[in-house]
Amino acid sequence: MNSGAASLRPRSMKMPEPLLNSGGLRGLYVRTFGCQMNEYDSLRVQRLLAAMGYVPVDEIGRADVIFLNTCSVRGKAEQKVHSFLGSLRRLKDAKPHLKIIAGGCVAQQLGEKLLDRFDHLDIVIGTRAVSSVAQVLQRVQESGGRLAWLPETDDGYQMSEIGFPTPDLRHPTPDTRPPTSVTAPVTVMQGCNNYCSYCIVPYVRGPERSRPAGQILEEIRLLEESGVREILLLGQNVNSYGRGLDEKITFVGLLRRIARQTGVARIRFTTSHPKDLTDELMSCFAEIDPLCKHLHLPVQAGSDRILARMNRGYTAAGYVEKIRRLRSICPEIALTSDVIVGFPGETEDDFQKTMELLDEARFDNLFSFRYSDRPNTRAAAFSDKVENSEAARRLLELQSYQADITLGKNLAEVGSVRDVLVEGTSRASNGQMTGRTTQNRIVNFEAPLSSIGQICSVKVVFAYSHSLKGVFIAK
Ligand code: SF4
C-alpha cells in the first residue's frame, strides 16, 4: 500500500542551524500520539538524534526539529495529528530553519500525500525506517529538500540506539528533561499477522517480526546500567514472539532468560492475544519472580457473533475460561482489558453480552472505545454501522458500570501493604512520590526523593477511581 520509494523535492530555503547553547546542542521537540509502540519509537528517535547534538526540549518554541509520532488506530487520534500538524505552520514561518518530521502510522499510511497536504512538513518517515531518522534528517538539511522515506523492509536497529537512555539522563543539563528512567519500554517484536477486521496495524506496521533475544538482553542490560528497574516488553502480540527467528525461542523462553540473565527488578509485557495465551505463559506469573502480577488481555466484545466478525479467533466462554485458569494459577493477578462498543452490526443483545462478560470477568481496569472506521480494514466496508448516538450511549453505560467495578477493586486494597516501585514525584499532589504496585495500581505517598527507583513497602489508606493513597512503611 505504500510506494516504498523515497522522493526528494527541492525547497528553496536553507538556513544555518542555530545552537541551543554553547555546547553545540539543538532542540528536539517530540510529540507522540497513540500506543506504547509509538512511545518506544519516539525514544529511539531521541536516542538517534542525540548523536547529532539534539536534546529534548519541553517548549515547542525552542525546537530546531519537531518529531511528530502519529497514530491512526482510531479516527480521533488521526484528526488530532492533522490539527497539530496544521498548527505548526506559523512556527515554521517564523523559524524557517525548523525541520518538521512526521513518523508513525499516519505517516506510513499517507506517505507523500502528507507532504502534499502540509507544505511546511519536511520529512515523512515510515514505521520501518525509524533507525534511519538521523540520516534522513541530515540529507534533508544538506539538500534543502523534502523527503518521504517509506521502505518496505525494516531498517533494523542500530547498535548506537540500543539501550541508551534519552540524551544525557546520567548527566542532565538544564536543556534536558528530568530523568525518567525508572521504567523503560523494550520492543521484542513488531507488526502483526492477525488481521482483526477493525485494525489497521498489520497494514501500517507490516507482518510480525521478532527481535533476536541476544539484542533484547543487551538492550535490557544497558538500560539497567543507566538505572532502569522495570522494563515493559512491547509487541502487538507478544505470545507469537520467536516465530521466524533462527534461534528456537518462545516468549516464555525469553521471559525466563531475562529473569535469569539480567538484574531488572520488574518485568511487564503487553499486548497478549487471548487466542494465543498458553498455560505455559500463565504459569510464568506464578514462577518468575520479577514478572509483575498484571496481564492486559484485550477481549474487545462479549458476543461470539461480534467476536467472529472481528476475526478475533476465540469465544467469550473461551476467554472467561482462560482468565479463570489464570486466576487459579496466580490468585493475586490483576487483569485489564480493552473493549470496542458499537462495532458494525452490534445489536443491543450483543452489547448486553459484553456487559455480562464485564460482570463475570471483573476486570481491575478497562480501556473502552467507540468503534471508528479505519481505512483498508474489512470492518470499514461493513454496511451495518451503529448510529453514533447509540454507540455513545452504550459506551457511557459500559464505562459507568466498569467504573464501579474498578473503584470496588481499589477499595479492596485499603489496609493492604504493597510493594511499590517509586517512579518519581506525583503530578497531582505536592511533595508526594508516585509509583506502582506489581498489579499496576498507581500509589501516591509521602517519601523522600531518594526513594525514586526503590521498591518501598506502602500501606494503602485510601482508594480513588484511578489511584490509591498510601503511607510509606519502609524501603
Ligand atoms: Fe490489530 Fe488484532 Fe494485531 Fe492487535 S492482534 S494489532 S488488534 S490485528
**Rounded Cα distance, 432 and 459, in Å:** 14
User: Has residue 381 got a pLDDT over 90?
Assistant: yes
Three cell numbers written together for 39: 512511545
SS3 label, residue 232? strand
Q: What is the mean pLDDT of residues 386-399?
A: 97
Q: Strand locations in 355-400, DSSP E?
A: 365-370
Q: Which protein residue has the closest C-alpha to ligand 1 atom 4? A: 236
> How large is the C-alpha radius of gyration of the chain?
23
Q: What is the mean pLDDT of residues 283-307?
A: 98
pLDDT at residue 165, as a whole number: 42
Q: Is the CB of 196 under 6 A from ligand 1?
A: yes
Highest mean pLDDT of the ranges 56-60, 184-188, 410-414: 410-414
φ, ψ (nearest 5 deg) of residue 185: -85, 150
**What pLDDT band is residue 20 in, cutting at 50, 70 and 90?**
low
Q: Name the average pLDDT for the chain.
A: 87
Q: Is the CB of 201 under 6 A from ligand 1?
A: yes
User: Has residue 283 got a pLDDT over 80?
Assistant: yes
Q: Is 137 exposed, middle or buried (0-12, 13-18, 19+ CB in 10 A)?
A: buried
* pTM for the model: 0.82
Q: Which protein residue has the closest C-alpha to ligand 1 atom 5? A: 194
Q: What is the mean pLDDT of residues 428-435?
A: 82
Contact 418, 436 (CB under 8 A): no
pLDDT at residue 429, as a whole number: 62
Between strands 432-436 and 442-446, the pairing is: antiparallel
Q: What is the mean pLDDT of residues 363-377?
A: 93
Q: Which protein residue has the closest C-alpha to ligand 1 atom 2? A: 196
pLDDT at residue 433, as a whole number: 93
